[in-house]
Amino acid sequence: MPKAQLLELQARGLALIDEATLEFAPGLNVVTGETGAGKTLLIGALTLCLGGDSPGGEVGDDLRVATLWRDGAGAERLLARELTATGRLRSVLDGQVTSAEGLRRVAESLVDIYGQRSSLRLRHPAAVLALIDRFGAVDTSELDEQRARLHELGRRRADLGGDREERARARDLAQFELTELRGAALTTPDELDQALANLERWQGRAARRSALLEALERLDGDREMTALGEIARIAALVEGAGESATLSSQLRGALEMARDAGHELRALLDAEDLDESQVAQLEERVGILSRVARRYGGSLAAALETREQRALDVERWRTAEEDLARLDAEIATTAAAERAAGARVRARREEAGARFGAAVSAELARVALPGGALRVEVDGVDGSAVRLLVRTNPGRAEGPVEEIASGGELSRLLLAVALVAGSEDAVAVFDEIDAGLGGAVAEQIGACLAELAGAGQVLVVTHLASVAARAQRHFVVHKETREGRAVTTVRAVAGEERVEEIARMLAGSGARSESRALARRLLSGA
């Protein structure tokens, strides 16, 4: 699988660095320079654009640090931090504004920085556990499956309710609601709309019949005064008064027309097939449907869905006690299997931890920690509580890595860990790993770093020529005075420039021909 690689680092307006661009090579990359030139500023710039804190020192208004990476999947990722006009640091990921935490999450899979001012991934128990499991090829799939099964069984048991009384209340409520919904005899989601439309039609017909009855009653009813009676009396009065035959005939004609209208009214009423009991039934049905819709979700569609669900609930509660007994038995069996799988995983982790501790201890002399030892402490039912305990010198008490080891020792210890465990996909960055070392020990450190760089990209800030000479790419940090102010520059060196830098590291600024000759031998690997 491809490993992550740092392709380029840019820094602008950071302390003494006006502008610097470093293009990195695969394998071992080194940064050298005189003391005080600002070598560690580059690590600070790298840390800053990975979401870390500012390395301190004066920064310019145009501060910007950026790193271009190729991740393990082969995709390029751009991580940057820049100072805004308001004086705040803005985080940028692949050209989009993000948070410092967003940068840190991405950086976790890209780089490990080992040094006195840097966070140590192996201080985190989860990272130590992952390291031991990877080293020992510890298979946790059976344990994971049992735990997933336990979780699912617990969820299913929780779905059946709490204690017996709670389940009884839930069962009774489901049965009550199902009975009510079934009693409503719902048919379709639009039954209420249809019933309301039918009721409106029936009510219209009832109003029409009532009006016709009233008209007939007023025309020729049983009341004392009707329209027909009044017309007849008027006609008789006119005839008795001896008025013209024409007027009398008109009144008799009006009387006959009124009688004919009465016949037509009776015919219309007889044609009206209005069953008042049906209207009452419709009104009652509309009331039932409206009440059910309000109670169960606001619509008959929701009420129908609730009816189906309550039928399932009632059936589930009917068998709940049997299901609970079966689930409890299955949970007990699975829990026992989970404990057994956990014990087996712990045994494998203990064995892997013992082998890992012995292997790292055997490498400690190579990284300038002679007489040191590393032990892996494994605890917990499944061995997941893992931590590294170290003794850096003979006769010293062992303790947690972060409490016992100094900054330089931490870096060298982790170099030994990386040599044993094999590098992960991340780029390894070592800050002053060789502080206080020299001679044959420095040669050993250089060999170890070169070995580690054979498996993945490594970046080292160093003051040792024997380390720098093994690099595939060499950067020199130089501090000079420009227009009355100190400025730090960074450039890649090769050829004679690199020979001169290695010679300076061997003999100081007054390098002689012997130092140059030794530098050439170191660079040639002789």
C-beta separation of 491 from 475 below 8 A = yes
Percent with pLDDT over 70 in the chain: 85
Confidence of residue 167 (pLDDT cuts 50, 70, 90): low
pLDDT surpassing 80 at residue 19: yes
- Strand ordering across the sheet containing 89-93: 96-98, 89-93, 76-83, 59-70, 5-14, 17-23, 485-493, 473-482, 28-33, 458-461, 427-431, 111-114
Range in 137-146, 234-243, 328-337 the model is least confident about = 234-243
What kind and span of H or E run contains 33?
A: strand 28-33
pLDDT at 123: 63
Task: Tell me the per-residue pLDDT of 202-225, one tens digit each, with 9 for 90 and over.
Answer: 666 666 767 767 676 777 777 777
- Tokens for 212, please give them: 């016709």
- Helix residue spans in 397-460 (DSSP H): 401-404, 407-421, 439-453
Confidence of residue 251 (pLDDT cuts 50, 70, 90): confident
- Tokens for 63, please give them: 């501060």
Tokens 């490990």, located at residue? 112
| Higher pLDDT, residue 403 or 274 | 403
Task: Supply the mean pLDDT for the chain.
Answer: 82
pLDDT surpassing 90 at residue 345: yes
C-beta separation of 33 from 22 below 8 A = no
| Higher pLDDT, residue 23 or 256 | 23
**Residue 70: Cβ within 10 Å count:** 17
List all residues 6 or more positions away from 73 whose beta carbon is below 8 Å from its beta carbon.
2
66 has which bridge partners? 10, 80
C-beta separation of 437 from 448 below 8 A = no
pLDDT at 68: 94
Mean pLDDT of 112-135: 73
C-beta separation of 29 from 467 below 8 A = no
- Tokens for 177, please give them: 């609601």
- Cα distance between residue 250 and residue 257, in whole Å: 10
C-beta separation of 109 from 2 below 8 A = no
pLDDT surpassing 60 at residue 277: yes
Range in 84-98, 117-131, 415-429 the model is least confident about = 117-131
- Tokens for 181, please give them: 């919904």
| Higher pLDDT, residue 193 or 37 | 193
DSSP for 453-482 reads HTTS-EEEE---HHHHTT-SEEEEEEEEEE
- Strand ordering across the sheet containing 399-400: 373-379, 385-391, 399-400
Distance linking the first and last C-alpha atoms of the chain: 33
Confidence of residue 408 (pLDDT cuts 50, 70, 90): low
pLDDT at 184: 85
Per CATH, the homologous superfamily of domain 1-116+414-493 is: P-loop containing nucleotide triphosphate hydrolases (3.40.50.300)
- Tokens for 317, please give them: 């509660």
Please report, for the chain, how many H helices and E strands are present, in that order. 17, 15
How far CA 236 is from CA of 30, 229, 254, in Å, comes to: 136, 11, 13
pLDDT surpassing 60 at residue 116: no
Rg (C-alpha) for the chain, rounded Å, is: 47
Nearest to 279 by CA among 215, 182, 180, 208: 208
Confidence of residue 117 (pLDDT cuts 50, 70, 90): very low
Confidence of residue 333 (pLDDT cuts 50, 70, 90): very high
Task: Tell me the per-residue pLDDT of 143-158, one tens digit each, with 9 for 90 and over.
Answer: 999 999 999 998 888 8
| Higher pLDDT, residue 262 or 25 | 25
Residue type, 471: A
pLDDT surpassing 90 at residue 124: no
Percent with pLDDT over 90 in the chain: 25
**Strand pairing category for 473-482 and 28-33:** parallel
- Cα distance between residue 365 and residue 127, in whole Å: 24
Top-ranked range on mean pLDDT: pick from 10-24, 37-51, 356-370:
356-370
| Higher pLDDT, residue 116 or 406 | 406
pLDDT at 127: 79
